[in-house]
């Protein structure tokens, strides 16, 4: 199943936010706002690039998006700190968001890449793109969350995503018809 806001929000973000004591009436809006922003960023704004090695040919790859907790959680903490919203509930909110996003990406998001120079081999994928902050602001405003507090929260999450994906890489397998000669190349793709 491709990455979609309703499934990410209801299946992953909301349960993980509930698990860390976010039980207020605004929690479903928060979960959906985050899901819209994250999905918009990964599927529309960001792109996947790869550096490949293997045998010459034309190949493809389809891998789950695997972002470790230890990469996302400190990045979100830095985002919250930069927006000066580290209150007593912030560590729990960050934990709920981290667990929800990481498990949601693993279950829903796929890195779909094309490799015009390598038919069989391996590559290293990176997600590159503009800042995630505008996408997060869009997600929050789509749920009617406007004003200073929501803008700070959306900006903090966007900064956290920027930090995360600036350090993120994932090994991928490339499959396709190949020639007996070896080579290297670059690939491209998207998150679906």
pLDDT in tens, 81-127: 999 999 999 999 999 999 999 999 999 999 999 999 999 999 999 99
Residue 122 CA, chain-centre distance (Å), reads: 22
pLDDT digits (tens, 9 = 90+) for 14-45: 999 999 998 889 999 999 999 999 999 999 99
Share of the chain above pLDDT 70, in %: 99
Q: Would you place residue 181 in the very low, low, confident or very high pLDDT band (cuts 50, 70, 90)?
A: very high
Host domain of residue 33: 5-191
**CA distance linking residue 162 with residue 143, whole number of Å:** 22
Total domain count for the chain? 1
Query: Given this model, what pLDDT does residue 178 score?
Result: 84
């Amino acid at each position: 199943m491709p990455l979609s806001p309703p499934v990410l929000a209801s299946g992953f973000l909301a349960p993980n936010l509930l698990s860390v004591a976010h039980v207020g009436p605004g929690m479903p809006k928060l979960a959906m706002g985050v899901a819209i922003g994250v999905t918009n960023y990964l599927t529309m704004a960001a792109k996947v690039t790869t550096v490949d090695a293997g045998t010459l040919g034309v190949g493809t790859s389809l891998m789950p998006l695997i972002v470790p907790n230890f990469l996302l959680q400190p990045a979100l903490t830095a985002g919250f700190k930069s927006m000066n919203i580290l209150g007593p509930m912030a560590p729990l909110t960050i934990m709920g968001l981290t667990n929800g996003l990481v498990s949601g990406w693993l279950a829903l998001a796929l890195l779909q890449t094309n490799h015009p120079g390598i038919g069989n081999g391996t590559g290293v994928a990176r997600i590159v793109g503009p800042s995630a902050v505008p996408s997060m602001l869009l997600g929050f405003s789509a749920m009617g969350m406007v004003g200073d507090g929501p803008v700070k929260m959306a900006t903090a999450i966007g900064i956290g995503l920027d930090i995360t994906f600036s350090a993120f890489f994932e090994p991928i397998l490339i499959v396709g018809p190949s020639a007996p000669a070896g080579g290297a190349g670059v690939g491209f793709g998207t998150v679906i």
